[in-house]
Amino acid sequence: MKSATAIDAARVELLLAELRLPAIKLVWSDLAAQADKEGWPAARFLAALAEHEIAERGRRRIERHLAEARLPPGKTLDTFDFDVVPMVSKAQIIALAAGDSWLEKGANLIMFGPPGGGKSHLAASLGFALVENGWRVLFARTTDLVQRLQIARRELALESAIAKLDKYHLLILDDLAYVTKDQAETSVLFELIGARYERRSLLVTANQPFGEWGKIFPDQAMTLAVVDRLVHHATIFEMNVESYRRRTALERKRGPGRPPASATIKANV
Ligand code: ADP
Ligand code: MG
């Protein structure tokens, strides 16, 4: 015959499964043994179980948010060498990774610079840190996202496709300037930027300064409207450095690289 304790234990397992408390289900018997042995008050035992479930749920939520963020792998702040971009302050990036000062008001970040300067890496690593801090992020190549939105538009579902992106506190539009100048394409981008204005943040990377954006959008008015909305509450990083790939390849040959050509940061949050 089973002991009363064994029967209780079997009931607990069933009840916890029914209540969908998988984290408690895993640890309760060890904790119960410890509580019995050390004579814990019942409230302490219950609190320990609840804390464990909450911590596990938090961990699983972040795991889900990391998966949905589609960040390129391996691009973290730990692997980003701030020494090669002296115009970007590590302290400022770490402050931005907390999120609250800018994501809550839908402010934007814009990263300019020539190819290979570390824009995508820095954007992705900031995205990663934000997810770890509890925010929801989506990293997208701008051309891919524009294509998805165009398909939605054809299916008369553009508005709801844009609304679905609202769940992301930060949308990273990587390589905005690679979008081709095609009326239908860029007008979905125009609508996306307008819809998020002052509500939800964007991080845009581009290897063309604003002056060249006339090549992205079909007309002057649309370009001006986009730039206006993006910069109204924005921090702009100008990462005018030599390509990191080229620099590291050259360094292997000739020793340390040249200092960067220019160093400017404009902040206008
Ligand atoms: P961009 O998006 O500006 O064209 P990337 O971020 O793609 O440049 O950088 C090109 C490559 O060099 C990537 O593999 C990236 O991880 C690496 N890289 C660039 N800048 C840095 C940096 N400051 N520290 C470490 N790796 C870097
Ligand atoms: Mg890039």
The 10s digit of each residue's pLDDT in 211-231 is 888 888 878 888 899 999 999
Decide whether any atom of ligand 1 lies within 6 Å of the 110 Cβ.
no
Whether residues 119 and 203 fall in one domain: yes
Structural domain containing residue 52: 4-67
Decide whether any atom of ligand 1 lies within 6 Å of the 245 Cβ.
yes
Output the pLDDT for position 220.
86
Decide whether any atom of ligand 1 lies within 6 Å of the 84 Cβ.
yes
Give the mutation target among 80, 83, 111, 121 for probing the ligand 1 site: most ligand atoms within 8 A of CB: 121
The minimum-distance atom of ligand 1 relative to the CA of 205 is 2
Long-range CB contact pairs, 218-224, < 8 A, 24+: 218/181, 218/182, 218/183, 218/186, 218/187, 222/186, 222/187, 222/190
In the chain (269 residues long), the average pLDDT of successive 10-residue segments reads 82 94 94 96 96 95 98 96 94 95 96 95 98 97 93 95 98 89 77 95 94 83 92 94 81 61 48
Output the pLDDT for position 256.
55
- For the chain, how many structural domains are there in total? 2
Whether residues 145 and 129 fall in one domain: yes
- Tell which of 12, 46, 67 closes a domain: 67
Q: Which ligand is nearest to the CA of 247?
A: 1
User: Separation of 119 CA from ligand 1 center, angstroms?
Assistant: 7
Whether residues 219 and 233 fall in one domain: yes
The minimum-distance atom of ligand 1 relative to the CA of 84 is 23
CATH number at residue 227: 3.40.50.300
187-199 burial, b at 16+ Cβ within 10 Å, e below that, comes to bbbbbbbeebbee
Whether residues 212 and 163 fall in one domain: yes
- 258 domain-assigned: no
- 264 domain-assigned: no
Output the pLDDT for position 243.
86
- 269 domain-assigned: no
Decide whether any atom of ligand 1 lies within 6 Å of the 81 Cβ.
yes
- 268 domain-assigned: no
User: Separation of 253 CA from ligand 1 center, angstroms?
Assistant: 19
Whether residues 173 and 232 fall in one domain: yes
Output the pLDDT for position 4.
81
Output the pLDDT for position 184.
64
Output the pLDDT for position 215.
81
Q: Tell me the C-alpha distance between 110 and 101, whole Å.
A: 16
The minimum-distance atom of ligand 1 relative to the CA of 174 is 2
Global model pTM greater than 0.95: no
Output the pLDDT for position 258.
52
Q: Which ligand is nearest to the CA of 79?
A: 1
Q: Which ligand is nearest to the CA of 177?
A: 2
Output the pLDDT for position 183.
63
Output the pLDDT for position 269.
45
Chain mean pLDDT for the chain: 90
The minimum-distance atom of ligand 1 relative to the CA of 114 is 3
- Tell which of 37, 67, 97 closes a domain: 67
